[in-house]
Amino acid sequence: MEATEDEKEIERFETELEFVQCLASPAYIHWLAQNRYFDDDSFLAYLNYLQYWRTQEYAKFIVFPHCLYFLRLLQQESFREAMKRNDYMLFVHQQQGNYWMFNPTMTERVEIPTEANKMQNTN
């Protein structure tokens, strides 16, 4: 029995949500970098497409808000290149831990992409 359109949309939503939240892990981003996913233009286009998760409408479903920060950083080639290095991944992981331990507010921050950000993300 073939899935209905609603079921397909729910599956796509859940799959994209799960993938975006995986980006909260510097180790996972490092793995993607080591396995050359960031050298694939189609994958980079997919990351650009996923920027809609940073809007308030979708960000409310995010449990791990750091994923939104890393999703934005992944638009920068310099960050993608740096994440290939184990020492840099460990540094990012340590900084993330410091943020969790010492940030007094720990409030979620929803970023709303502006037209300027969208243009910047295509570079």
pLDDT, tens digit, 9 for 90 and up, residues 59-79? 999 999 999 999 999 999 999
Q: Are 68 and 54 in contact (CB under 8 A)?
A: yes
Nearest to 62 by CA among 118, 112, 119, 19: 19
Burial classification of residue 44, based on how many CB atoms lie within 10 Å of its CB (0-12 exposed, 13-18 middle, 19 or more buried): middle
Dist CA 31 CA 37 (whole Å)? 9
pLDDT, tens digit, 9 for 90 and up, residues 28-60? 999 999 999 999 999 999 999 999 999 999 999
Identify the structural domains of the chain with CATH numbers, from first to last: 5-121 (1.10.10.1340)
Q: What is the largest CA-CA distance in the chain?
A: 51
Residues sharing a CB contact under 8 Å with residue 106, sequence separation 6 or more, in sequence order: 100
Residues sharing a CB contact under 8 Å with residue 119, sequence separation 6 or more, in sequence order: none
Residues sharing a CB contact under 8 Å with residue 84, sequence separation 6 or more, in sequence order: 30, 33, 34
Average pLDDT estimate for 82-109: 78
pTM for the predicted model, two decimal places: 0.78
